Amino acid sequence: MYLVRPFSEPGNPEATVCIVSGRGCLVRDDGGREYLDANAGLWLVNAGYGRPELLAAATRQLEDLAYFPVFWGFTNPPALRLASRLAELMPGGPGRVLFTTGGAEAVETAIKVARRYHFLRGEPERTGIIARHRAYHGLTGTALAAGGFPAYKEGFGPPDPDFSHIPPPYCYRCPWEQAKDCCGLECAHALEAELRRRGPERVAAFVAEPVAGVGGVLVPPQGYLPAVQEICRRYGVLFIADEIITGFGRTGRLFGVNHWGVEPDLMCLAKGLTSGYLPLGACLISEAVWKPFAESPSAFRHGYTYSGHAAACAVGLRNLELILDEDLPGRSARLGEYLLNSLSALDHPAVGEVRGLGLMVGLELVADRATRQPFDPKRWVGWELQEACRREGVLLRSLGDIISLSPPLVITEEQIDLVVAVLDRCLRTEVDGKGLS
Ligand SMILES: Cc1ncc(COP(=O)(O)O)c(C=O)c1O
């Protein structure tokens, strides 16, 4: 096989599953076998597979104009229209929109905007970025530096000293041993401590996912995001919300920050922006942050060949219409609760916690529920469970021993029942009894 598959261990068998088609939440492989995709690909096929409306939007635009750059004095109609829709929807908006090809580029863009914002305002030494352990922001240079998984950085040169990390709100394993939603928000105050340690006059931005995805579906306690926003404002540091997973209804609201009334200075979007039908990302910039750029005599020398790709933006527009017309955020809230309740009703000694927001749900496996002791990672318990479910026709994902579920937002209750039944069966055959013995 000539295809390099990201994150595939060299020992993995070649071509495990080749998916050839999809409808709704179901995908089919080249042997005709059907799977219920409880991952929505990589957390993104929010509108479901095989939507004729999105196919029509792409086809119509490809016939007129597939692509024309939006550099210098040029634009194209879908890029203009999608930018104005997103600008209106930005919490605290309207803001400005710079399109990218995907998520990591949106994060790179937000970090560059933040640094240049301070530069243009006469604070060029404000370049530092504070992020969180267990964060995932993509795998390109700056986005990788912001990420909080040391293993992903191994072998790619020395760490960038401008980036530092604080603990995320991982309430199940709270380093301060507090109980969720009745704590002192120590993880938010860790931001202030880190700002003081580094000197706030050297810090440009704090970047965080409203609900961390790859880090293990970490839903923050109630006051967390308002508290970090307040700290950022007090120290003149910009708050970048990475909404690449949490955007477009995934958590039960259009954007994750909508749950807490937070208005980020910069927002990173991708994935659900087109439900994956064509690659597209975006960085939303608040009007206040854009002001020095608008007043500067020099151009913002940043962008990508595919920024504002006409066909991708046309799909983004239609996808956004579908999400709003069908109230997919509301559906995600309702069915997310149904999924969470169904999973919580399962009784398995190895299920330490079930948590989530909307249709973004995590299930943490432990060797001992009483002490929350994790399994020995060498036993690959989460991976084994993922593979057992796949053999039973359900695709979900193991993030180590945390299982994530993020199905298309069009999933039905019957399909959720099927996912839960398969998970229940596979937990019994693959995981129960593997505890400490
Ligand atoms: C929160 C978050 N940010 C950024 C990214 C990177 O996006 P991309 O893979 O499109 O570069 C991801 C991808 O999973 C993500 O989950």
**pLDDT tens-digit profile of 171-206?**
999 999 999 878 999 999 999 999 999 999 999 999
Reply yes or no: is the peptide bond before residue 292 cis, omega within 30 of 0: no
Q: What value does the CA radius of gyration of the chain take, rounded to a whole number of Å?
A: 22
114 and 254 both lie in a single domain:
yes
Residue 13: per-residue pLDDT? 66
The domain total for the chain is 2
Distances (CA, A) of 369 to 183, 185, 323: 22, 25, 39
- Closest CA relative to residue 80, chosen from 52, 99, 62: 99
Residue 273 lies in a domain: yes
Query: Would you call 6 exposed, middle or buried from its count of C-beta atoms within 10 A (0-12, 13-18, 19+)?
Result: exposed
What's the CA gap between 275 and 329, in Å, rounded? 13
Q: What is the pLDDT of residue 9?
A: 76
DSSP string covering 138-196, please? -SSHHHHHH---GGGGTTS-SPPTTEEEE----GGG-TT-PPTTSS--HHHHHHHHHHH
CB-based contacts of 43, cutoff 8 Å, min separation 6:
213, 245, 250, 271, 272, 360, 404, 406
Would 14 be classed as within a structural domain? no
The per-residue pLDDT for range 120-174, each reduced to its tens digit, is: 999 999 999 999 999 999 999 999 999 999 999 999 999 999 999 999 999 999 9
Element (H, E) at 36: strand 34-37
- Of the three residues 290, 325, 360, the one that is the final residue of a domain is 325
Give the integer Cα–Cα distance in Å for 159 and 428.
42
Q: Which of 325, 342, 369 is the last residue of a domain?
A: 325
Digit-coded pLDDT (tens) for 294-317 = 999 999 999 999 999 999 999 999
- In this prediction, residue 14 carries a pLDDT of 62
- My answer on whether 87 and 192 are in the same domain is yes
Q: Is residue 305 part of a domain?
A: yes
Q: Span 75-93, mean pLDDT?
A: 97
How far apart (Å, rounded) are the C-alpha atoms in residues 204 and 124? 9
pLDDT recorded at residue 349: 93
Same domain, 335 and 314: no
Q: Are residues 111 and 256 in the same domain?
A: yes
pLDDT value of position 16 = 82
Do 267 and 160 reside in the same domain of the chain?
Answer: yes
Compute the distance from residue 417 Cα to the ligand 1 centre, in Å.
29
**Residue 258 resides in a domain:** yes
Residue 270: the pLDDT is: 98
The CATH number assigned to the domain holding 248 equals: 3.40.640.10
In this structure, the answer to whether residues 314 and 379 fall within a common structural domain is no
Question: What mean pLDDT value characterizes the chain?
Answer: 96
Report the candidate in 324, 307, 363, 365 with the shortest Cα–Cα distance to residue 79.
307
Mean pLDDT of 66-88: 97
Edge-first strand listing for the sheet containing 360-365 = 351-357, 360-365, 402-405, 397-399
Q: Which atom of ligand 1 is nearest to the CA of 212?
A: 1
Q: Indicate if 164 and 285 belong to the same structural domain.
A: yes
**Pocket-forming residues, ligand 1, beta carbon under 6 Å:** 42, 102-104, 107, 136-138, 209, 213-214, 242, 244-245, 270
Question: Which of the listed residues 42, 43, 136 should we mutate to test ligand 1's pocket, taking the one with most ligand atoms within 8 A of CB?
Answer: 136
Task: Answer whether 164's CB lies under 8 Å from 86's CB.
Answer: no
CA distance 48 to 24: 4
85 in a structural domain:
yes
Confidence class for position 2, pLDDT limits 50, 70, 90: confident
- For residue 22, being part of any structural domain is answered with no
- Looking from the CA of residue 143, the nearest atom of ligand 1 is 4
**Within this chain, do residues 392 and 340 fall inside the same structural domain, yes or no?**
yes
CA 153 to chain CA mean position, Å: 19
Tell whether 417 is covered by a domain: yes
CA distance 326 to 46: 12
Q: 270, 293, 325 — which closes off a domain?
A: 325
Distance CA 111, CA 220 (A): 23
From the list 221, 233, 241, 213, the residue with the least C-alpha distance to 405 is 213
pLDDT band at 93 (very low <50, low <70, confident <90, very high): confident
193 CA distance to ligand 1 middle (Å): 28
Shared domain for 84 and 165, answered yes or no, is yes
Q: Which two tokens stand for residue 354?
A: 């079930």
Instruction: From the CA of 138, give the closest atom in ligand 1.
Output: 6
Domain presence at residue 24: no
The residue behind tokens 């997103």 is: 86
Whether 272 and 354 map to the same domain: the answer is no
Q: Are residues 132 and 240 in the same domain?
A: yes
Phi, psi of 164 (to 5 degrees): -135, 165
User: Inter-axis angle of helices 103-120 and 287-295, to 10 degrees?
Assistant: 60
Q: Using the atom order of ligand 1, give the atom closest to the CA of residue 102.
A: 10
Domain of residue 103 covers: 54-325
pTM over 0.95: yes
* CATH number, residue 371: 3.90.1150.10
Give the distance between the most distant pair of CA atoms in the chain.
68
Distance 64 CA to ligand 1 centre (A): 30
Q: What percent of the chain has pLDDT over 70?
A: 98
The answer to whether the beta carbons of residues 123 and 154 sit under 8 Å apart is no
